Structure formats: C-alpha cells, structure tokens
C-alpha cells in the first residue's frame, strides 16, 4: 500500500462524498457536526452539483394539505418508498401558496399580500423575497391582470433563476381582454421585465400547476390541449409547440397532462384503460416519441380520478382524491404510497407539485 492510500479501515474521500450525496437532506445537515470538512460540504459547489445529480432519479411529490378546521395548510413530501415527511415554510414568516417548482426550488406567493413572491429552498430553508411586481397596491377599483400562469426556472449550471407571472388584462366587471400581460423576474438584475402579447386562451387548474422548464423556456398546456404554450426566457417571446400527430389525429381524445421527464418535456395521455407517455426527443423539430404504454387494469377503480403529477425514468406518480399511487416503469408494479382521511378540504391532486431535494441556493447573483 502506497503512502497516498488511506489507512486501513478508512474510506477514501471520494467514496465518502458519494455516500453523503445519497443521504436525505435532514440527515446530511445533522452530520455536518462530525468535522469541519463535512460542515463546509453543503456550501461547496461541486458537492451541491453531485447531490443534484443523485436526486435527479429520486422524484418526490409535494402536497399542500388543507383541513376545513385549520386555515393554515400543512406540507408533505412523499417519495416512492412509502416515506411521507412533513416540512414547513414557516421560515418565510408569511402565509403562502406554492405556485411552481423547479430543480428543488419553490416559487410561493403571499396570500395576504397580493403581488409578493418568494423563491425558496425548503430543504435548506434559504429564501429570497422578490421585489413587488408593481408599486401601486391592488384594489377592487383598479384591478390588475390576474395571475393565470406562474412559472419558475432554475439553471443548474449558472444558478440563475427566473419567475414568470402572466395573466389576461381584465377591467373590473368585464371579460378579459385578448392581451396576455407577462412579467419576468431575473435573479441577476433583481428586477422585473414587462411585455404584452395579443392572444387569448384558457387554462385549467391542473394546466396552471403543471409548468415545465426545459431548453431555457417555460411550458404550459392549454385547456383545449391543442398545443403547448412556450415562453422563451432568452427573448421573452411566446410561441406554440404542436402535440404528437397521433394525439391530434384522434381529436385530442382522453385526458392530457404536461410533465417534466428529467429535464425534457413530456406528455401523459389517459385514453380508456391505457396511459401513454410521450417525450419531446427533438425540441427544435417538435418531434415526439411514444416511450411507454401502461394498462390501467390494476387501478380501474381510480383511473377516472387519477391525475399524473410527477414522472421519471423509473416511476410515475398519480394523485387521486385521497391517495398517491406509483407505477414502477421497470418492474411494472402499482403501489399505494400515501393516503389521507376524509377530513381534507381539497383532493390531493389539487395542490400536488413535482419536487426533488437539492441544496441549490436562491440568493446567487444578487445585484442592488
């Protein structure tokens, strides 16, 4: 054994890093007290990137559970191994609603203070309060555009994030104008950019929740499911992506949902007793590929009320009224991983977001 080799019974530092990168965040922070090098680990960029890579294949569903007797919601994270853990957003010191999720960060809007947004990492309890979207306060006599769409993007290479808030201008007591007003926040400049586009479409509650960040763009599926609406964050331009020809040919039958598949845009179509998974393999040519087909015979009793909420190469998460179900794409096994009683105010799919644990900060590139 050379002098460079570790002493007998001591693991090499690279192996220790790989072990620590697979720990839950709570355990990792608890082990920071072991030694100084471990204490600094969670703030070192190479380890943060390593931790992100290991968590990419460990998706989590984030649930916001509201009980009729309690006006303050409780937050739960559910993984594929029957593990449900509570976490809190009390460090924001505000009553908030989760609006979007991206690479371990959350975008939350203040409930009592309209126009106030936070970007936070619930695992590290770091957050950033964004400047108000407007100086003049909201009032019923001067209503502004409604926040129809809220999206969050986080670049894992530059650690820059953007928040997009968009809605249709609606004067008080009238139908919305065919003008989509959008404001995009840039974490590097700490400012909002406002622009207006002339078109109108509608979005369901699930459409608003299921926003996908890919190719420096945010993606939403419209209520008609006739196309994917895309906001290019490099040029602040809206455009459209067509759905797979097979879906268009049958007249957009069934239910269609937009999800992220490990950095790419994907679609899930529930048609009859089948669940189809599509992936946008060639983004520039808008080429979709059918990558999986799942029979729903094992969950026929829940199929009509099951909503896909999270997707990876290994597992699909579906939320029903009271249960979270998973389907293992490799072992072909259905499993119930979480359930609640009848004392919740809303179905679980109403406030379910895809999530994964990361150590990414949200205060990089601040310039005042």
Per domain, the residue ranges of the chain are: 44-355
Q: Nearest Cα to 207, choosing from 193, 228, 234, 191?
A: 228
Neighbours of 364 (CB within 10 A): 13
Cα angle 79, 84, 87; round to 5: 110
Return mean pLDDT, the chain. Answer: 86
Q: What's the pTM? A: 0.89
Task: Report the pLDDT averaged over residues 72-78.
Answer: 86
Q: Which of 72-86, 268-282, 288-302, 353-367 has the lowest mean pLDDT?
A: 353-367
Averaged pLDDT, 295-312: 91
- pLDDT band at 160; cut points 50, 70, 90: very high
Q: Is the pLDDT of residue 157 over 80?
A: yes
SS3 39: helix
Closest CA to 267 of 276, 258, 280: 258
What are the structure tokens assigned to 219, written together? 């993606």
- With 0-12 / 13-18 / 19 or more C-beta atoms within 10 angstroms meaning exposed / middle / buried, residue 68 is exposed
Q: Name which of 262, 264, 288 is nearest 276 in CA terms.
A: 288
* Model confidence at 141: pLDDT above 50: no
Decide: 271 and 257 in contact? Cβ < 8 Å.
no
pLDDT (0 to 100) of residue 33:
80
Whether residue 270 has pLDDT greater than 60: yes
pLDDT at res. 177: 67
pLDDT band for position 30 (cuts 50, 70, 90): confident
pLDDT tens, 182-191?
Answer: 999 999 999 9
Residue 65 token pair: 């559970």
How remote is the C-alpha of 157 from its chain's centroid?
A: 18
| Residues in CB range of 68: below 8 A, 6 or more apart | 343, 345
Read off the pLDDT of residues 189-215 as tens digits, 9 standing for 90 and up: 999 999 988 887 888 888 888 999 999
| CATH classification code of 44-355 | 2.120.10.80
Range of lowest pLDDT (41-45, 112-116, 175-179, 297-301): 175-179
Q: Would you state the pLDDT for residue 64?
A: 87
């Amino acid at each position: 054994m050379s002098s460079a080799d570790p002493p007998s019974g001591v693991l090499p530092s690279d192996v220790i890093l790989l072990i620590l990168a697979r720990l839950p965040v709570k355990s990792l922070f608890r082990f920071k007290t072991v030694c100084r090098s471990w204490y600094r680990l969670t703030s070192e960029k190479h380890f943060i990137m390593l931790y992100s890579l290991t968590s990419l294949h460990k998706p989590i569903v984030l649930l916001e559970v509201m009980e009729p007797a309690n006006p303050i919601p409780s937050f739960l994270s559910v993984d594929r191994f029957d593990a449900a853990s509570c976490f809190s957003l009390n460090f924001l010191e505000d009553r908030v609603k989760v609006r979007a999720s991206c690479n371990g960060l959350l975008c939350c809007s203040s409930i009592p203070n309209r126009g106030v947004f936070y970007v936070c990492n619930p695992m590290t309890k770091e957050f950033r309060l964004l400047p108000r979207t407007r100086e003049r306060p909201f009032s019923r006599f001067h209503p502004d555009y409604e926040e129809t769409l809220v999206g969050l993007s986080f670049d894992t290479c530059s650690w820059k994030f953007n928040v997009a808030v968009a809605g249709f201008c609606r004067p008080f007591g009238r139908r919305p104008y065919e003008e989509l007003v959008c404001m995009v926040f840039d974490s590097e400049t700490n400012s909002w950019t406002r622009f207006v586009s002339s078109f109108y479409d509608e979005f369901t509650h699930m459409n608003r929740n299921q926003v996908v960040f890919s190719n420096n763009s945010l993606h939403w599926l419209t209520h008609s499911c006739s196309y994917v609406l895309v906001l290019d964050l490099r040029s602040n331009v809206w455009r459209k992506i067509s759905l797979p020809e097979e879906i268009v040919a049958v007249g957009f039958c069934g239910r269609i949902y937009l999800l992220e598949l490990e950095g790419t845009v994907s679609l899930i179509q529930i048609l009859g007793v089948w669940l189809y998974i599509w992936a946008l393999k060639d983004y520039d040519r808008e080429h979709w590929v059918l990558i999986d087909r799942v029979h729903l015979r094992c969950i026929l009793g829940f199929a009509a009320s099951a909503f896909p909420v999270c997707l990876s190469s290994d597992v699909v998460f579906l939320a029903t009224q009271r249960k979270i179900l998973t389907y293992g794409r490799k072992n072909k096994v259905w499993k119930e991983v979480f359930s609640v009683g009848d004392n919740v105010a809303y179905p679980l799919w109403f406030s379910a977001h895809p999530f994964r644990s990361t150590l990414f900060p949200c205060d990089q590139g601040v310039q005042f």
